[in-house]
Chains A and B, each alone.
Chain A
């Protein structure tokens, strides 16, 4: 039993690594992806323009403008004579929003009357607009000594409420809100998902196409042995890749790694096993590599979308939140965030780890059962 299993695993590894091109394609693309995604997939709001319509021209308005210019959040602050002209610029996406300082703004403030400013935002770019709104409200409230205001009506309007007390924000776990710090640990999970899923997903179909599958099936090796022989090699590949990522992420991008290495590898291996199970499940159903490829994509995209990678899980309806609960990537991402940034203890991660283990057990046993049924 062990001899046969080892023979199959060895064969799988040789198939993956013997050919220089195959070896290359296993190592290089994931690393390239890591570099590219970490630069491209940023949600930080940089390089934004905010239009200003200053109808007040008083000292407080000048103060607000001064502070806006002083902050490095905005690349440019073009001044517009009236709202109509500024609205046109907004429509053409030349500015992300328009800050309107009504006439009487300074006078009201000087007299201690509550007042407000109007901020018109481009709802099409909601994410960037929200962040811009935060910057503006911080700066405006800083420029003023007090007073609150009622929201102003208008299209896509967000009227910042002006707090009486100054808010001092500190971002825990990622003190400078470095977007990469968030992105890179996530990518470690994302990329090992792709590798584990594709390797198992394609390998059985490939063997079916080549006829080698029958050759192995007629040997005394049982379907369970063959299935295990297919499931385990991707784990090894995932572990090697995770090591590479860990080195790149910590050494090249200086993202701190605060967790336990042991837990990291446990998470990577369990996650890879869960994904390989899904891959094997797909492979058991299909006959050609093309079908396997489509099948892998059909699960890859929902896995990624329902993981909290792109959108917060908390914002999803309850039934999607339930699905994220059985999505191994969702747990993996939380584990990676925790291990890299939070430096969390085993207890705080145990829940995700246990859930990941359960998912892995379910996917692999379902896959092995289906594989054995379809193979004989």
Chain B
């Protein structure tokens, strides 16, 4: 397999930057999506555009693609202003929007033809490019299939093929990794690397740190500002010598992480399976000269967290104000979530096939798997959103099939997408969820103000939930999900797309809640999130193919070739073993 048409792109001198922005500002009403960006996009490399949701990644890409005009400042792409001279520049830019920009009701070939017509390719070029690109993306067998019926990974490849139709010199990929399983993500990376070898410049926007880490160069965006511009390695070098791992016994990592984080000298402490990863504050590394602290290779995330100022410290007020759980104690076996042979059919398709597991009080259980593998189906059956075709499910000892309402009263649910009422104010949202969960007047008077205080929502109490900053939205969602002090928390990809600090804050609360006996069920395809779990069930093609602690899963794939496998490595190896 070769990169399509490398000759056209190799002709340009790589010394010239592929794009440059100077004092770039883009405002939407009162909000500044981009706030003074000055940077150069080095040609012939993969540039990672990293940042949480709402940081301005998409706005920057759209400005580069010439789809909008800057408010002030300027953009130059391949030596021209993209929109003013649209015709020539845009012909050399390939743009893959989020969710790939495909027409789901058209076939693979129709999608290609449509984009070819939009690019005004003549018939000969068209036939030749189609053949090249279909071969490159390995979609030749699927030309007649509707785009809507492709898997996430195949959609991604088709999106890429459409973006590559015009043999672009600059390829803009907006979050190509979202909603795609790790296997497909790796394959996309390989294809893009081939393109880069052929001289194409690629801008790859992502919220995944491990993706950014592999890029030659990164731009780190935060609230419209450029926090860092340079090779990722150079950023992680800043914390070299200050990153340590402290091993502990299984099940004790959580308390240890809390203890370590409380220390003045510690900037950051996160759980990694049964060990704790620490970042020392500058010039405090001497305090870790103890054999218990093993120095480790710095990662991008360590430096990113430092750049953002480090996580907040202190006890979780959410856990401190937690009402005494009589329910958790009343459950003798301790299994607060029980799934037995859960099965769900959609027509001929078996979305979940005899999935079974238990989550004990105080335990965090992760359902890990790519999109479409069946983890959401399983999850939705367990919170009563989907009726199982077979099997049984109970929450806090209450059967979900026979006493759904009573069972649901015992669980708190937080969805991946912010799903509170955007037209209601913060206070109205809290009131609504307090009432809908049947809080008594006295309980409401106590819990609602407590939530407002512990999540510092008071200044936003009267603003519409939809208009809150991302971090506050997340706090509000957690507040609404825990107002009724549920015995079980269901979290659906709770921290995808947020920055590492928000993720730490969120897990800080969740970890603290487990000490109050709350059982937590998490779905995720996000390896960083999975590291917080006590146990993980790996879901693949509707079945649970592996289960164990993160360390156990990693140990299963440890080999001479992979002495230190990450959870993602473990995931890929286990899934590949299953597929073989």
Contact = CB atoms under 8 A, between A and B. Distances in A.
Interface in A218-260: 218-222
Contacts of B423: 14-15, 18-19, 22
B385 A220 contact: no
Contact of A15 (B383, B411, B424, B438): B424
Interface in A8-25: 8, 10-11, 14-15, 18-19, 22
Nearest to A19: B423
Interface centre among A10, A22, A211, A212 (most CB of B within 10 A): A212
Given A4-B435, A218-B383, A218-B408, A210 B419 contact: yes
A214 B424 contact: no
B437 A219 contact: yes
Contacts of B413: 214-215, 218
B405 A220 contact: yes
A76 interface: no
A4 B433 CA distance: 9
Contacts of A22: 423
Contacts of A212: 419-421
Contact residues on A (Cβ < 8 Å of other chain), bracket: 20 to 34
Given A212-B419, A376-B387, A220 B408 contact: yes
Contacts of B433: 219
B408 to A, nearest CB: 5
B459 to A, nearest CB: 19
A10 B432 CA distance: 8
A212 B404 CA distance: 19
Contacts of B406: 220
Contacts of B428: 11, 14, 18
A230 to B, nearest CB: 14
Contacts of A14: 423-424, 428
Given A4-B436, A211-B415, A220 B424 contact: no
B409 interface: yes
Contacts of B431: 7
B372 interface: no
Interface string B515-545: 0000000000000000000000000000000
A220 B415 contact: no
B4 interface: no
B158 to A, nearest CB: 23
A319 to B, nearest CB: 37
A217 B415 CA distance: 12
A212 B419 CA distance: 5
B422 interface: yes
B436 A219 contact: yes
B387 A219 contact: no
B208 interface: no
A6 interface: yes
B295 interface: no
A217 B385 CA distance: 7
Given A4-B435, A214-B385, A217-B385, A11 B421 contact: yes
A216 interface: yes
A289 to B, nearest CB: 14
A14 B424 CA distance: 7
A343 B304 CA distance: 77
30 contacts: A4-B435, A4-B438, A7-B431, A7-B432, A7-B436, A11-B424, A11-B428, A11-B432, A14-B424, A15-B421, A15-B423, A211-B419, A212-B420, A214-B415, A217-B384, A218-B384, A218-B385, A218-B408, A218-B490, A219-B408, A219-B436, A220-B409, A220-B437, A220-B438, A221-B405, A221-B436, A222-B405, A376-B384, A376-B387, A376-B404
Given A10-B435, A219-B437, A220-B438, 9 more contacts: A11-B421, A11-B424, A18-B424, A211-B417, A214-B385, A214-B415, A215-B419, A218-B490, A219-B433
